[in-house]
Amino acid sequence: QQQVKQSPQSLIVQKGGISIINCAYENTAFDYFPWYQQFPGKGPALLIAIRPDVSEKKEGRFTISFNKSAKQFSLHIMDSQPGDSATYFCAASSSGGSNYKLTFGKGTLLTVNP
Amino acid sequence: NAGVTQTPKFRILKIGQSMTLQCTQDMNHNYMYWYRQDPGMGLKLIYYSVGAGITDKGEVPNGYNVSRSTTEDFPLRLELAAPSQTSVYFCASSYFVQEGTQYFGPGTRLLVL
């Protein structure tokens, strides 16, 4: 059972446009939601993360929006650049009990055309 | 700091062969993880460790084994390679689990023929 559903699978955006990637989760115990960015041939790297006590977190051109009641969160990339072309993974984890694991979405391949 | 290092970068195995994927971190992290990444399937957790001498199964442990004798090293063992194990393998580590960034290695690409 996939606990974090990510969409779309792939996304093509023009330079300067807004890229939006959505994730939905099922486990209400999740309370930490990071996004990872992965360039071809590299390992994923943390991009930005949010906890559910805030509805939005912004770091530069990257913003996470969080909707606790809908159990959804999304990544917005403003003024998208060709250098943003990568695969993006959302993830979730729980701080309760002995859960030491991140559950990842299946990823979104973002292509930003010049 | 080298961070998380993995060897080899690429390997071709024949069906039934065995090999060990090496992972080392120099950040003194307690938590270490092995993932496999298949196209369009995201990252699947194979095994993880919360400290030296302690390991546990993840989502897809069948066909793999791990050990953690030191804080730094977390090798992944494939005993009888099968074509289904063709994948890219990533090792990761973190200091804190909750809100703790997982630092990933560069990956090992494995092809089983």
Q: Which domains, ranges and CATH numbers included, belong to chain B?
A: 4-95 (2.60.40.10)
pLDDT band at A96 (very low <50, low <70, confident <90, very high): low
Domain of A70, in residue numbers: 4-113
Cross-chain Cβ contact A105/B42 below 8 Å: yes
pLDDT band at A7 (very low <50, low <70, confident <90, very high): very high
Write the pLDDT tens digit of every residue in B7-31.
999 999 999 999 999 999 999 999 9
Predicted local confidence at residue B2, as pLDDT: 81
| Residue A18 Cα, gap to closest chain B Cα (Å) | 23
State the nearest Cα–Cα gap between B100 and chain A, in angstroms: 9
User: What are the chain A neighbours of B33 within 8 Å (beta carbons)?
Assistant: 101
Mean pLDDT of chain B: 93
Q: Stretch B63-88: mean pLDDT, rounded? A: 96
Give A97-114 pLDDT, tens digit per residue: 555 688 899 999 999 999
Of the partner residues B33, B45, B98, the one whose CB lies closest to the CB of residue A32: B98
| Nearest by CB: B50 against A34, A46, A100 | A100
Candidates A3, A42, A102, partner chain B, best to mutate (most B CBs within 10 A) = A102
**A48 interfaces chain B, CB cutoff of 8 Å:** no
**Residue A6 CA from chain centroid, whole number:** 8
Which residue in chain A is spatially nearest to B6 when comparing CA positions? Answer: A43
DSSP states of B43-76 as a string?
EEEEEEEEETTEEEE-S--TTEEE--SSSSB--E
pLDDT value, residue B100: 66
Contact B58, A101 (CB under 8 A): yes
Question: Which domain CATH number covers A24?
Answer: 2.60.40.10
Q: Tell which of A9, A23, A100 to mutate to test the B interface (max B CBs under 10 Å).
A: A100
In percent, the amount of chain A with pLDDT more than 90 equals 79
Cβ atoms of B49 and B68 within 8 Å: the answer is yes
Mean pLDDT score, A62-78? 95
How many domains would you assign to chain A? 1
**Distance from chain centroid for Cα A32:** 12
Q: pLDDT of A40-69, one tens digit each?
A: 999 999 999 998 889 999 999 999 999 999
- Of the CA atoms within 13 Å of residue A32, those in its CB half-sphere come to 18
